[in-house]
Amino acid sequence: MQALLKLSAFIDRINDLIGRAMMWFVLAATLISAGNAIVRKVAGTSSNAWLEVQWYLFAAVFMLGGGYAFLRNAHVRIDFLSSKFSARTRNWVDIVGIVVCLVPLCLMLIVEGWPVFARAWVSGEMSSNAGGLIRWPVYLLIPVGFAVLLAQGVSEIIKRAAFLSGAGPDVLAHKEPDETEVLLKELSAADAAAQNKA
């Protein structure tokens, strides 16, 4: 089980890095969008390439961010049901859901998405818009994004199996504090330190 937990931790680290990179992609897409709009209004000109870069960045955030959302337990969950389950039942429901729904979906979309990317790569498919970009990078996001999500699914199965076998914590029971909560705690601590000095 320890080797599997190390694999799970490695997958978690990779998806955490990807998720943090996707946050920068959101910023880049926002700046490109704003810059493109300003240039269009001020100079009366624009480029389809810049519009497509925005779409590609958004597609990357959406496709590659799935694993990060799963890692952070930020995906849609029917809490009014799962909150009534025992910890063991909740973990079993997750394992069954991952094995029955997530794994087959990811495998199907990887298998179906790869030929679409491969055809675009070989043909050099370009956007039909004037000044548009090549298409293969955005098509590649489909199999890669679902591979990343599948890997995180494997990691989540390992963590739930570890809990059920008594070799790990219940990751569903731990709520990560959000950034606002952390900031409020830091501000409170700084306030208390300032009052102690005064």
| DSSP calls for 17-32 | HHHHHHHHHHHHHHHH
For the stretch 2-56, pLDDT in tens is 888 899 999 999 999 999 999 999 999 999 989 988 888 888 887 788 888 998 9
Q: Give the CA count within 13 Å in the CB-facing half-sphere of 68.
A: 17
**Which pTM value belongs to this model?**
0.78
58, part of any domain: yes
- Among 16-20, 127-131, 133-137, 186-190, which is the least confidently predicted range? 186-190
Q: Which domain holds residue 105?
A: 2-180
How many angstroms separate the CA atoms of 36 and 50, rounded? 7
Q: How many domains does the chain have?
A: 1
Please check whether residue 23 lies inside any domain of the structure. Answer: yes
Greater confidence (145 vs 94) lies with: 145
In a domain, 197, yes or no: no
Give the up-direction half-sphere exposure of residue 11: CA atoms within 13 A in the CB hemisphere. Answer: 23
137 domain-assigned: yes
Please check whether residue 192 lies inside any domain of the structure.
no
Residue 109 has pLDDT above 80, yes or no: yes
